[in-house]
Amino acid sequence: MNNFEYYNPVKIIFGKDQIQQLSKLIPSTSKVMIIYGGGSIKENGVYEQVKKSLNDHFMIEFGGIEPNPRYETSMKAVELARENQIDFLLAVGGGSVIDATKFIAAAIPFQRGEPWTILSEKKSVKSAISFGTVLTLPATGSEMNSGSVITKEDSKEKFAFSSPFTFPQFSILDPSVASTLPKRQVANGIVDAFSHVVEQYMTYKVNAPLQDRLAESILKTLIEEGPKAYKDPADYDAMANLMWCATMALNGLIRTGVPVDWATHGIGHELTALHEIDHARTLAIVLPGVWRVLKDEKKDKLVQYAERIWGINEGSDSEKIDQAINSTESFFESLGIKTKMKDYNVGSDTIDAIIERFENRGWTALGDRQLADLPTIRNILNLQLQ
Amino acid sequence: MNNFEYYNPVKIIFGKDQIQQLSKLIPSTSKVMIIYGGGSIKENGVYEQVKKSLNDHFMIEFGGIEPNPRYETSMKAVELARENQIDFLLAVGGGSVIDATKFIAAAIPFQRGEPWTILSEKKSVKSAISFGTVLTLPATGSEMNSGSVITKEDSKEKFAFSSPFTFPQFSILDPSVASTLPKRQVANGIVDAFSHVVEQYMTYKVNAPLQDRLAESILKTLIEEGPKAYKDPADYDAMANLMWCATMALNGLIRTGVPVDWATHGIGHELTALHEIDHARTLAIVLPGVWRVLKDEKKDKLVQYAERIWGINEGSDSEKIDQAINSTESFFESLGIKTKMKDYNVGSDTIDAIIERFENRGWTALGDRQLADLPTIRNILNLQLQ
């Protein structure tokens, strides 16, 4: 096991009818700004529940955070918050809204140049205003970590940051608010959570059997409960299990003491930036390609994955791995998520564009042992073209 | 899944050579009191490492915390801390030292009567001074939770308390410091951690498959890695895996959204209070009895445990359960831990004494669905007499 640090102070409030706890969770003297997305929270009753719980608080609103949240939009929220001397943010939405809120929280007090440099130059965040979240979509895990991914509209660049100051103070996870989600979003959430787990698992063995099993626990539960929640988002128990899996997938616990990868995310982000393909769908395209091309390097873990997750115990190691990758692709496809670039009308010119973007940034390789160098990334994407 | 809240702000620093981080973790202006036990830290080098790292801090010491830490001893530490205006405690030891430190941290500022009432009358803790821990023994999980168990010498009573103010700020877990532990203590730690997991698992199903699998992950790893650490405490990887299992067993995560039991602990505490039997050994005595007597009530989970943990897939449900309980007992015995009262020279008069103590406190039943009423407790102990 590798040395590690683990710290996660987010308070999770999980279950039915928990949004009403907001009135106790946010100090009554706070000046609150609610941040949300396209307005679905006004259709599913969440907006009303939040307003009702906070009716004794000073409160303004900022709506319109996009999927793949934009720097430009976030900066409008920063301005509004500064003008109103806001001291508490409440994100009400999915990962995009929460990611934007983390950035806004850090940007409000930021005084060392343009806040964009937090992302582009990795300038360290030294403070942030307090915030909480009301999660409406199980997917990204952003509700229980300190990371955020923001896209700049004008340059189509997508960067991540994290800091000890951008953990939510609390996150309210009520699975019943996800009961009216479109199936497409439920499917995306399942694949997103699944990908988060394997990015922290499909590397190489370091004698960390507990961490392996914790990751496998989430994968098995996603495979078992995900399709139930996809079939019927109003199935409370299935949605609750999916929601807790998605949170546990990226709260830092399963990566303790083990190597991580994140090459799939690094490549997938470019597909979103260039073509606006849903984040989870880019992962479903790239992930099987990464495993196919790096099959030898990731062999030990791929075999373990085949055996423990898919129960594949027959055949050579190579056959087990091939079957497991096919099973994974079939799992994604069973949720209506296509795994080839041509399904999204993306051709080989995009591969050239992605390689060029990496070259322009001076990136030579990504992820686990830096195995995904530029020729390897080209092979991965070529394999997943059609 | 049941509704739940989860909050755990303890920073874990895990791995080799991490004790030197103390100098950064404790503010240099703090007035520190180091709290430890019987002095083994002076033999295994931990004391030297701690002193070296803190040589720029103001620091006093309090040694002599007992196994099953005493209220009377803890109060001497409280007095010393008050006299010296100590504002940071550092526990260096195992669960007993950490539990005592939590109580001392809460008792120092306590001004609403005798601090014993925090335990005896469950008076709420409204503040505590800050503290961190350097763990020397994987077992209780106290390094990553806010709970503490303290014994009063004069009345031989053992009570627990917890509060949001008694989480360690940090815990340093260096598995190499456990390399010189006596085997007896390693064995106790394995059984203690194992018992913690099953107290939060062996109840009834509430459709929480992730939590079930997380608990099972810890159990399987303890069964696999525990004996290696027992055989050779200097096997770094095995000890690291045991240490992380023991911490994960009681940091609140596996009990999220599921019912818990703790009847075994409730009964076991009395065996320790009356006969000074090691805490873990009392659990090894009581646990198989609880499962045997409550076999029907806990059937669904016992069968799942038999199949998933011990791979017992043949026979009737009843046969599977019997085999699984026997396997559990054999596992304890393989670590040199006896599972019958007669092995500790304890007879049936002690059963009467325990029932009488419960009656005197007005306790009528313990644990999961209050299934362990007094006649049931008598049956449990009778079964485990010899």
Chain B partners of A208 at a C-beta cutoff of 8 Å? 241
- Whether the per-residue pLDDT at B281 is higher than 90: the answer is yes
The encoded tokens of residue A324 equal 């497991």
| Cβ distance of A8 and B12 shorter than 8 Å | no
Q: How far apart are CA B65 and CA B37, in angstroms?
A: 4
Residue A196: in which H helix or E strand, if any?
helix A183-199
Residue A323: which residues within 8 A CB-CB, separation 6 or more?
A: A306, A310, A312, A315
Looking up tokens 């990371």 gives A147
What are the residue boundaries of the structural domains of chain B, listed by start?
11-177, 181-383
> Which region among A292-296, B43-47, B249-253, B379-383 has the lowest average model confidence (pLDDT)?
B43-47
The encoded tokens of residue B115 equal 């601090």
- Whether the per-residue pLDDT at B202 is higher than 90: the answer is yes
Phi, psi (deg, nearest 5) at residue A137:
-150, 115
Instruction: Quickly state the pLDDT bin for B352 (edges 50, 70, 90).
Output: very high
Q: Which of B209, B214, B220 sits opposite A241 (nearest CB)?
A: B209
Is domain B181-383 given the CATH code 1.20.1090.10 in the classification?
A: yes
Share of chain B above pLDDT 90, in %: 95
State chain B's mean pLDDT as an integer.
96
Q: CA nearest B306: which of B293, B318, B290?
A: B318
Residues from A in contact with B at Cβ < 8 Å: 1-16, 18, 207-211, 213-214, 216-218, 220-221, 224-225, 237, 240-241, 244-245, 248, 253, 256-257
| Cβ distance of B7 and A9 shorter than 8 Å | yes
Mean pLDDT across B89-95: 97
Residue A236: in which H helix or E strand, if any?
helix A236-249
Q: CA nearest B197: which of B243, B144, B143, B253?
A: B253
* Nearest chain A CA: its distance from B61 CA (Å): 27
Q: Which residues pair with B135 in a beta bridge?
A: B93, B173
Domain A11-177 has what CATH class? alpha beta
Give the pLDDT confidence score for residue B203 in this predicted structure: 98
Give the pLDDT confidence score for residue A273 in this predicted structure: 86
Q: Which residue from A minimizes the CA distance to B10?
A: A7
CB B192 within 8 A of CB B140: yes
- Whether the per-residue pLDDT at B156 is higher than 80: the answer is no
Mean pLDDT by 10 residues, chain A (386 residues): 98 97 96 95 94 95 95 98 98 97 98 94 96 97 97 85 97 97 97 98 98 98 98 98 98 98 95 92 98 98 98 98 98 98 97 96 96 98 96
Residue B7: which residues within 8 A CB-CB, separation 6 or more?
A: A9, A10, A11, A12, B164, B252
Instruction: Quickly state the pLDDT bin for B355 (edges 50, 70, 90).
Output: very high
DSSP 3-state of B159: strand
Give the pLDDT confidence score for residue B39 in this predicted structure: 83
Give the pLDDT confidence score for residue A155 in this predicted structure: 82
Angle between the B374-383 and B263-275 helix axes, to the nearest 10 degrees? 70
Q: How far apart are CA A368 and CA A365, in angstroms?
A: 10
Mean pLDDT across B287-299: 98
Mean pLDDT across B86-103: 97
Is beta strand B170-173 parallel, antiparallel or unpaired with respect to B130-135? parallel
Mean pLDDT across B126-133: 98
DSSP 3-state of A78: helix
Residue B15: which residues within 8 A CB-CB, separation 6 or more?
A: A1, A2, A3, A4, A257, B173, B174, B175, B240
Residues from B in contact with A at Cβ < 8 Å: 1-16, 18, 207-211, 213-214, 216-218, 220-221, 224-225, 237, 240-241, 244-245, 248, 253, 256-257
Chain A interface, mutation test: which of B176, B211, B225, B244, most A Cβ atoms within 10 Å?
B244
CB atoms within 10 A of CB B204: 13
Q: CA nearest A43: which of A63, A21, A23?
A: A63
CA within 13 Å, CB half, A277:
27
Q: Which residues pair with B58 in a beta bridge?
A: B31
Looking up tokens 């001397």 gives A85
